[in-house]
Amino acid sequence: MQETDQFHPAPKTLGLAAVATLTTLLLVVVSDLLLFDAEPGINLFLLTLGIALAIAAFAWRRGRVREGLLGLATALVLALPLIEAPSPLGLMLAALGLALSALIAIRVLPGRLEHMPTTVLRFLLPAPITLARDAVALRIAAQPQLWQRALLGLLAWIVPLGLGLVFVFLFAAANPLVEALFAGLRAERAFDLLNPVRVIFWLVMAAGIWALLRPKLLRRKKSRLGTPLFAPRETTWLGHAAILRSLVIFNALFALETALDLTFLWGGMALPNGMSHAEYAHRGAYPLIVTALLAAAFVLVAMRRDGPGQRSVLIRVLVYGFIAQNVLLCLSAMLRLELYVEVYSLTGLRLAAGIWMALVAVGLVLILLRIWWKRSNAWLVACNLVALLVVLYGSALMDFSALIARFNVAHSLEVSGEGMPLDLRYISLQGTSVIPALDSFIASLKPNQPAWQAASVLRANLGYQFTRRETGWRSWSWRQQRLADYLRLGPVASGPQTLQNTPSGSR
């Protein structure tokens, strides 16, 4: 990206800055109307759409039609979870989509995957101060003509504003409807616009929007030639002999653990001393993931560029076997977690742990591919970030509260005859998304049982909580709309007479 001198911008730059200023002000007004003092909902997606269209328009203005369309598509795809339901994760993905859109529009997003994370980071780091830095630069450049233009601009507004106010007062005197309209306007409403929280909101939005419309990258520091930051050195404790012996010992230890898992965990053989499979699973799930992470770090050190692992065929073979055992270790940890969850129910932390275990397994496979294809660590980091992005995108679309509730209801003692009783206290903390699962739980119970009564009361309270939500168009989401349709068409089964099918859920 070519940049003009910071203290002497060209007239064309001043013109582009003026357009960017007007666009930023317009988008700040739009963001105030959509977001301020409103519950999050479709308003977040609409604002993202508006900013993405502005970025694309700036690209089209420079003749970059393809880049503008590609950036717009990228921003919209990453913002789609905001339509499903607003969440911090969805908001983060939408912000990333806008950042990528801005970089695509100015043709600085690299084509190679391993260079993308550093480019995005070079954009994000100076983004908060881009507005202030550009404001200082443009002020210095426009200093000679600033006061003259300001004075001429003020003089040009005297006649239209003065006569306009006169006409307004005359119309108010002649028309009772106009007089009633202005009588409803109060001075304190104007002061509401200037409360500190709102002003800070404007400044934050202006800084973010300006950075997207006029993106700047942090300059790279030139490194001295011939003096790499981490020069490879052969040391005794990380030399050929140390790495070879470590891999032999580690493979033997992991082979023992793998054999035990294949026998007792995957094979289902009875455990000694009356130990249950759930207890066996719980004790090993999390330590095994830590073990896999430590093993991955060791592999990266052993197979560093120009290290002994790159030159020894035996070490490479041992590393491949070591990684394969670690992948199996991650799968065993996931199976342990599944066995434990089937007995003791599913929670948000346990679900997150399962996702994390799958990510670790993917990371180990990527390490294997990195060694096999002789790629750089930057490639490995970029691939792991892509895997993380895919997981985060799927997580933003998933309703984990409803998923946890459905799983726990299906595996509860009351429904399946096995496991633990349904923890209604934990279910109540998951929000209104659990209502359909709670209805199926109530329908499976006999009326007037203690569990039936407690679940019915909880269902009524959650239904009342849902009806008390903000129902304005700005807070609409597809997830809430589906639940609203369900509550309208699917009443609770076998609920108490005083609670069943009541719109407000009051007792």
pLDDT in tens, 200-220: 999 999 999 999 999 999 887
pLDDT of residue 497: 42
Q: Mean per-residue pLDDT for 287-309?
A: 79
Residue boundaries of the structural domains of the chain: 11-157+189-213, 240-395, 401-489
Q: Mean per-residue pLDDT for 404-411?
A: 95
> The tokens 């342990």 sit on which residue?
336
31-35, 160-164, 300-304, 348-352, range with the lowest pLDDT: 160-164
Tokens of 361: 């397994």
Is residue 223 scored above 60 in pLDDT?
no
Q: Tell me the backbone φ, ψ of residue 253, rounded to 5 degrees.
A: -65, -45
pLDDT tens-place string over residues 477-487? 999 999 999 99
Tokens of 446: 């006999």
Measured between its terminal Cα atoms, the distance across the chain in Å is 65
- The closest alpha carbon to 30, from 45, 18, 16, belongs to 45
CA distance 31 to 46: 9
pLDDT-derived band at 19 (thresholds 50, 70, 90) equals confident
- The closest alpha carbon to 466, from 474, 477, 455, belongs to 477
Is residue 4 scored above 80 in pLDDT?
no
As a whole number, the mean pLDDT across the chain is 82
The percentage of the chain sitting over the pLDDT mark of 70, rounded to a whole number, equals 77
Q: Mean per-residue pLDDT for 286-306?
A: 80
- The closest alpha carbon to 56, from 73, 39, 42, 33, belongs to 73
Is residue 147 scored above 90 in pLDDT?
no
Is residue 86 scored above 60 in pLDDT?
yes
Q: Provide the whole-model pTM.
A: 0.81
**Torsion over CA: 56, 60, 65, 66 (sign):** negative
CA distance 113 to 108: 13
Q: Mean per-residue pLDDT for 351-371?
A: 90
CA distance 180 to 171: 11
CA distance 424 to 458: 8
The number of angstroms, rounded, from the C-alpha of 474 to the middle of its chain's C-alpha atoms is 21
Is residue 390 scored above 50 in pLDDT?
yes
- The closest alpha carbon to 311, from 394, 362, 371, 388, belongs to 371
Number of H helices, E strands in the chain: 23, 0
- The closest alpha carbon to 346, from 287, 420, 417, belongs to 420
For the purposes of burial, counting CB atoms within 10 Å of the CB of 36, is it exposed (0-12), middle (13-18) or buried (19 or more)?
middle
CA distance 89 to 133: 30
Crossing angle (nearest 10°) for helices 277-302 and 240-260: 160
pLDDT tens-place string over residues 154-191? 555 665 766 676 677 677 777 777 666 666 555 555 55
CA distance 410 to 345: 10
Number of Cβ atoms within 10 Å of the Cβ of 216: 18
